[in-house]
Amino acid sequence: MNSVLVTGGAGFIGSNFVRMVLAEHRECKVINLDKLTYAGNLENLAGFMEDSNHEFVRGDICDGLLVERLLEEYSVDAIINFAAESHVDRSIMEPGVFIETNVKGTVALLKAALDKGVGKFVQVSTDEVYGSLGPEGLFTETTPLSPNSPYSASKASADHMVAAFGHTWELDYNITRCSNNYGEYQFPEKMIPLMINNALNDKPLPVYGDGMNVRDWLYVYDHCTAIWQVLTKGRSGDIYNIGGNNEKTNLEVVKRILDRLGKSEDLITFVKDRPGHDRRYAIDSSKIMSELGWKPSVTFEEGIGKAIDWYLENRKWLEHVVSGEYEKYYDQMYDGR
């Protein structure tokens, strides 16, 4: 793999992927396209902006002419599409934005990939497209899609478009569907960094409903290594589920964060549940493990400790990203608590 276009490469997962590739796969040049919305941050790429193997371009994936120019100029071998509006709460507030980026943007990338003969298209999706699980069972790659939020519906639509381009025009593609990511550089609208930030500032920790919603937690570095395996070894047209095999209730995670930081559980504040809140997600990763030889390298206990330590060591980064627009959003979501 000589040259890849990474979209959304200044966001949480995308920036971690870019950093991993530049550190561990020096044979590969990364063209990094990001619109730099509220969740995209060049500070996430500190130490790599001047890397000779890294070319950052500010732009929108919906701009087909720009994408085509980049594909041609850099002789791109593959596109890895991380670019997405990804927060369920925001999708409930503004669903149209999610259709624009997640569906129309993906289609623009697919058309450019076809027009310029790109060899591989990897769509980074989510286990949320499968809907909600009961207390038993796991999501497999053949689980029917049953999205329950505007966010997951937009990602499911994008997945269908990727598969349609593969079927109709024989585009070489893979779709990955991951469980909940956590780790360094995650924007604090998401649960783990939100709770860390509030705990550090002795603010109430808003927990939806009864706190018993279950998620499978995947350390972001492990997700990145899995995507690299799919990119380089994935069978054309296949879907790969990526999970951390770490099912925890939201309340368990919050209490672990408070314990690690030496803060009182009195900070936990139960708030009204969000509309349509899925009860449980859980991933069966046996396919990617058996076929591509990937497995998680970090347990949740190790990973959550590493994540908390990173936020403690990077208080300036955290203070910067929670200023301005984030404060308005937070007050709107949680009534200023």
Helix boundaries (H) for the chain = 12-24, 64-73, 88-93, 95-98, 105-115, 150-169, 191-200, 220-233, 250-261, 286-292, 300-313, 315-321, 325-334
d(CA 332, CA 252): 26
Three-state SS at 247:
strand
Tally the residues of the chain: 337
Nearby residues of 225 by Cβ (< 8 Å), 6 or more positions away: 20, 294, 297
Catalytic annotation, residues: 127-128, 151
For residue 169, how many other CB atoms are within 10 A of its CB?
11
Nearest one of 65, 62, 8, 12 to 31, comparing CA atoms: 8
Q: Roughly how many angstroms between the first and final C-alpha of the chain, as a whole number?
A: 48
Q: Report DSSP letters for 48-115, one per residue.
A: TTT-TTEEEEE--TT-HHHHHHHHHHTT--EEEE------HHHHHH-HHHHIIIIIIHHHHHHHHHHH
Q: Are 77 and 32 in contact (CB under 8 A)?
A: no
Nearest one of 164, 181, 289 to 233, comparing CA atoms: 289
For residue 239, how many other CB atoms are within 10 A of its CB?
22
Nearest one of 5, 197, 186 to 86, comparing CA atoms: 186
